Amino acid sequence: MNRKASFQRKSGPLVLDASAFIMGLYSASSNKGAVTTPEVMSELKNWLRSSSSILSLERLRVSSPAKKFLDEVRQASKETGDFLKLSKTDSSILALALQLKSQGLKPLLVSEDYAVQNVAHHLGLEYAPLAEGIKSQIQWLTYCPACKKRFKADFLGKTCPICGAEVKRKAAKKFPIKRKN
Ligand SMILES: [Zn+2]
């Protein structure tokens, strides 16, 4: 069964990953109620500071999922073969969506990440990719928060070879997508 759903449908809270904010989905859908995790907010810290767009963050709920749901996500990602592709942030939003579902809500997970969508499908969660209406792309910066060294994207979640801290990513900037007319 295809669980891909549209943003327009009646749904419970939107569970947003960082790309959803940057692509402007949050401000457009804030009246539906949105939730995210501290991990996502941490990836967005610099972007929020530098962004000229005004986000109404008062309707946003930031919450951490219980360990039980993180365990379930880890198990599911091993089953689908996505375990190594999921960052801590990815797992956190999947687990949060799972937790909301267990509370009887109908969360819609919004992520452009294929591994996230794949695990969401496996867990029976509804998800929506950021397909149409995207006006900008994100540039991710993969870096060590301790020593500031930059890495290639596939270093995300690994240990910094220089200082031993965990390699993270942050949204560096967005730029418009050139459309063919
Ligand atoms: Zn380092």
Taking only the tens place, the pLDDT of each residue in 58-104 is 567 899 999 999 999 999 999 988 898 899 999 999 999 999 999 99
Same domain, 120 and 34: yes
- Residue 2 included in any domain: no
What's the gap in Å between 69 CA and the centre of ligand 1?
30
Helical axes 38-50 vs 88-102, angle rounded to 10°:
120
Same domain, 70 and 122: yes
What's the gap in Å between 22 CA and the centre of ligand 1?
26
Q: Give the pLDDT band of residue 110 (cuts 50, 70, 90).
A: confident
What's the gap in Å between 168 CA and the centre of ligand 1?
10
Report which of 101, 107, 102 is spatially closest to residue 13, judged by C-alpha positions: 107
- Residue 9 included in any domain: no
Q: Are 42 and 14 in contact (CB under 8 A)?
A: no
- Residue 152 included in any domain: yes
- What residues make up the domain containing 93? 14-128
Q: Give the max Cα distance, the chain.
A: 48
Mean pLDDT within 139-158:
89
Same domain, 120 and 154: no
Task: Report residue 82 as tokens.
Answer: 């996505």
What's the gap in Å between 117 CA and the centre of ligand 1?
30
Higher per-residue confidence, 150 vs 5: 150
Q: Rounded CA gap, 40 and 181, in Å? A: 34
Same domain, 124 and 142: no
Same domain, 51 and 94: yes
